[in-house]
Structure 1
Amino acid sequence: MTLGIANLSLYSILWVANTPDSLAQQPSVRSQPTATQSTRAENLVTSYILGPGDRLSVDIFDAPEYSVKETQVLINGTINLPVVGSIVVQGLTLEQARAEISAQYNSILKRPVVTLNLLDARPMRIEIAGEVFRPGFYSLSLYDPESRTPELQYPTIIDAIKKAGGVTIAADVRQVVLRRPQPSGSEQMINLNLWDFFENGNFSENISLRDGDTIYIPSTTDVNPAEVRQLSNTNLATELDNPVNVTIVGAVQRPGTYVLIGGSTRTELRLGGRPTVTSALGEAGGITAQANVHQVEIHRITRNNTEQIIPVNLWELLQTGDVNKDPLLQDGDTIIIPTVTAVNPGELSSLAKASFSNPSIQVTVVGEVGNQNSVALEVPIDTTLNQALLAAGGVNRRANQKFVELIRLNPDGTVSQRKIEVDYSQTLNEQTNPLLRENDIIVVQRSGVTRFSDWGLAISHPVNAIGNGLVIPTRIFLILDSLDIIDDD
């Protein structure tokens, strides 16, 4: 299709082409937009560098037998014309190519008047590397497909980044590098600050591209969560629906690898927003009561294979409400939640109410407690042993009033067991009134007097029984039996 301004006759606009050839081959990359769209398109045509794939028309005045309605620049950079044969046009502007064609016909025609039109420009081939979603080679059209009257229009560096899926949140957009090949074989290095473009509207940073350009977006060495959020709200960022794979280890209820998409993946109707540390912790069941929220870390592998360690203080998030204390995540991040050496009771109540905490844990109290012998409790994560005993109805008159046993299923698959003195006056204390964890079991044994009175009673079904023939869940029974806690008498 013949495209509007691209068909302008070079013969009729020779006044534009009278600029020096060096300027025509390398137009200013920092020039401001021209006054009118038609003038801008006209300048683009005259400065355009021909290459394989371009479609041209050649018209020689009053010599139709030598004119060609359409010809394409071949892979070797030539076009074939009647009589004169192959002419090399690769690397030339339209005016330079027109002059070369005219010179070839000088031996055949007297003062040939040649008009050379660009019918269709080849796709521009560029490379983009570094902190983008999909690094690689891309072909960019020189025509805006959304325009009703397509005109020659060089794509910009922003167009190329969007084509590559946007920048990652590890990108340093202040130090973007553009490498442009020169006719001499060397490269022109152009440093760009795209942050200046977005923050201050400096359009000179969003330069137009040329065939063969290479764009490199480096990794930042100083992560600024506030700027990351600003950048994520621009059209330069990756799409919200891109899946983000993260690994969460440490003091969370369900450590492992999770796929996050636009916020919580547990809701059918997504509320939007990019995945953050707290939304990821929510997917992992929330933090445990032993989590050290002051020293959380994000470990991130950049495109250049270096590791960034980003400190996160979730306690400051709770105290200040500053969303920048809840950093955005990107694909491949690992979140590490360390454990505290001693639980701070003053912080625990606040953490228990946080959105990234597990709202409750499951514990079981078995034995001589209340009016039942087995009580499954769902309690807040800041629940202590004494609180669980009271929630289960307290120890009854048949119980050993001095000691209970705490059975803990550890994350590594082991089981720990210890006796704890019952003292309801104790506050949170790891030795006398410890904080409970998910799946803890508290065993309240019979007193010596109760054992003696129960002696000799017939037990019709000893399996799954504790004490005076009382039934408990099989899972709990098997654990207690393996620890020799089940009474056989």
Structure 2
Amino acid sequence: MPVLRPALLATVAVLALGGCASPLPTLPVAPPRPPAAVPTEAGATYRIVAGDQLMLRFDYQPDQAQTIQVAPDGGATLPWIGWQMLAGRTLDEVSRDLTQRYASVLKRPDTSVNLATGSAQRVFVGGEVGRSGAIPLNGRVTVTQALLLAEGLRETAATDHIVLLRPEAGGAPAAYAIDLRGVLDGSAPEADVVLRADDVLVVPRSGVANVNLWVDQYIRKNLPVSLGLNYNLNPSTKVTK
């Protein structure tokens, strides 16, 4: 019998459920979280979202530094190179990309992008939870932490097929299946994925035959995900990248 880690005991007390669910469609397993012991810089982990204010600096032309506002569509108009898509990318990724783009107009194109003022970031949790709605994303929040903030799971929740919808740069979300049972019994702690801004976490009912259709209908009726995102799920098992 697996031994629970102490850190999971409180989570198990709130989330552990009995009962079995009917077979469900297959979705990819959610990308595992990075090891907590490995420190990372903000520029490598923070992903730009609409509403952010960024500081654009040119290393060899400091007088040209300026603040950039990320528009609701995720882009911004930059000096000399025009409109660029920024949302969904890390600060480091954007800095490297802009350095390459500015090489065509500047002799010394070294560019850095930093976060000046972040917009209010949040994730959405819905379905078979105690309280559906938006949860502020203050620091590092995992799936189980978000579920606890949503007042836990209902007895009718399908813990083996929680759906994570994650915005992608192309506009359509990626859908992932999370089996919470491995997190609760300690056998798969890596499934406790770290959430990003605008992630949508939906807990289906146990016994639902077509999870994608259920999630699609639930989102359209209950969650405010029209904030610049397009969650049009095909009610099939295929995930559109």
Range into which the TM-score falls when normalised by the shorter chain: 0.5 to 0.7
Post-superposition CA distance 1:283-342 (Å, at most 9, x none): xxxxxxxxxxxxxxxxxxxxx9xxxxxxxxxxxxxxxxxxxxxxxxxxxxxxxxxxxxxx
Write the distance in 2 (CA, Å) between the matches of 1:72 and 1:173: 40
Counterpart check, 1:173 vs 2:159: yes
2:90 maps to what in 1? 93
Q: How does 1:250-261 map to 2 (within 5 A)?
A: none
- SS across alignment from 1:117: strand
For normalisation by structure 1, the TM-score amounts to 0.32
Aligned partners of 2:143 and 2:70: how far apart in 1? 26
Mapped partners of 1:119, 1:189: distance in 2: 31
* Aligned twin of 2:14: none
Change (3 A) 1:179 1:83: closer
1:87 and 1:101 in contact (8 A); partners too: no
Pick closer, same or farther for the CA change 1:112–1:188 going to 2, 3 Å. Answer: closer
Question: In 1, are the aligned partners of 2:161 and 2:178 still within 8 Å (CA)?
Answer: yes
Q: Residues 77 and 177 (structure 1 numbering): CA distance in 2 closer, same or farther, change over 3 Å?
A: closer
Counterparts of 2:170 and 2:82, CA distance in 1: 27
Segments of 4+ moved more than 4 angstroms: 80-86, 184-187
- 8 Å CA contact 2:180–2:192 kept in 1: the answer is yes
**1:55 counterpart residue number:** 53
**TM-score with structure 2 setting the length:** 0.60
Conserved? CA contact 2:123–2:135, under 8 Å: yes
- The residue that corresponds to 2:177 in the other structure is 191
Deviations 1:337-376 (A, max 9, x none): xxxxxxxxxxxxxxxxxxxxxxxxxxxxxxxxxxxxxxxx
The partner residue of 1:122 within 119, 122, 127 is: 119
CA distance in 2, matches of 1:73, 1:200: 40
Quickly say closer, same or farther: Cα 1:191–1:107, change in 2 above 3 A. closer
SS in 2 for 1:160: helix
Q: 1:102 corresponds to which residue? A: 99
Paired residue for 1:140, among 126, 133, 136? 136
Query: Number of residues paired by the alignment?
Result: 179
Amino acid in structure 1 at the alignment position of 2:59:
F
State the AA in 2 paired with 1:182.
E
Q: Distance in 2 between matches of 1:118 and 1:135?
A: 30
- The aligned counterpart of 1:471 is none
1:183 alignment partner AA: A
* Sequence identity (%): 26
Instruction: Write the distance in 1 (CA, Å) between the matches of 2:111 and 2:127.
Output: 46
Any conservation in 1 of the 2:135–2:146 contact (CA below 8 Å)?
A: no
Other structure's SS at 1:110 match? coil
Tell me the amino acid that sits aligned with residue 92 of structure 1.
R
- Map of 2:190 onto structure 1: 204
**Contact kept in structure 2, 1:126 and 1:213, CA below 8 Å:** yes
- Measure the CA separation in 1 of the matches of 2:167 and 2:107: 38
Other-structure match for 1:67: 65
Structure 1 CA distance, aligned partners of 2:186 and 2:104? Answer: 57
DSSP 3-state at the match of 2:147: helix
- What CA distance in whole angstroms lies between the structure 2 residues aligned with 1:159 and 1:33? 17
Aligned to 1:29: 31
| Paired AA for residue 129 in structure 1 | G
- CA distance in structure 2 between the partners assigned to 1:185 and 1:170 by the alignment: 32
Matched-pair contact (CA < 8 Å) for 1:121–1:142: no
Contact 1:193 1:205 survives alignment (8 Å): yes
Q: How far did residue 55 of structure 1 move?
A: 2.8
* Partner Cα distance (1:183, 1:82) in 2: 22
Do the aligned partners of residues 139 and 101 (structure 1) sit closer, same or farther apart at CA in structure 2, a change above 3 Å counting?
Answer: farther
Contact 1:66 1:81 in 2 (8 A): no
Q: 1:202 to 1:115 in 2, by over 3 A?
A: same
CA distance in 2, matches of 1:99, 1:32: 22
C-alpha distance in structure 2 between counterparts of 1:47 and 1:84, whole Å: 25
Cα pair 1:172 1:218 within 8 Å, conserved: yes
Specify the SS of the correspondent of 1:200.
Answer: coil
Task: Mark the runs of 5 or more structure 2 residues left unpaired by the alignment.
Answer: 1-29, 208-217, 219-241
> Which structure 1 segments of 5+ residues have no match?
1-27, 144-152, 222-303, 305-489
CA distance in 1, matches of 2:167, 2:72: 18
Question: How far apart, in 2, do the equivalents of 1:84 and 1:186 lie?
Answer: 26
The equivalent position to 1:161 in structure 2, one of 133, 136, 147, is 147
By relative contact order (CA 8 Å, sep 6+), the higher-ranking structure is 2
Letter of the aligned partner of 1:66 in structure 2? Answer: Q
The SS at the match of 2:130 is coil
User: 1:23 is matched with which residue?
Assistant: none
Higher strand share: 1
User: 2-side partners of 1:90 and 1:32: how far apart?
Assistant: 21
TM-superposition CA deviations, 1:421-479 (whole Å, max 9, x none): xxxxxxxxxxxxxxxxxxxxxxxxxxxxxxxxxxxxxxxxxxxxxxxxxxxxxxxxxxx
CA contact (8 A) 2:131 2:150 kept: yes
Instruction: State whether residues 33 and 191 of structure 2, in contact with CA within 8 Å, keep that contact through their aligned partners in structure 1.
Output: no
Q: CA RMSD in A?
A: 3.0
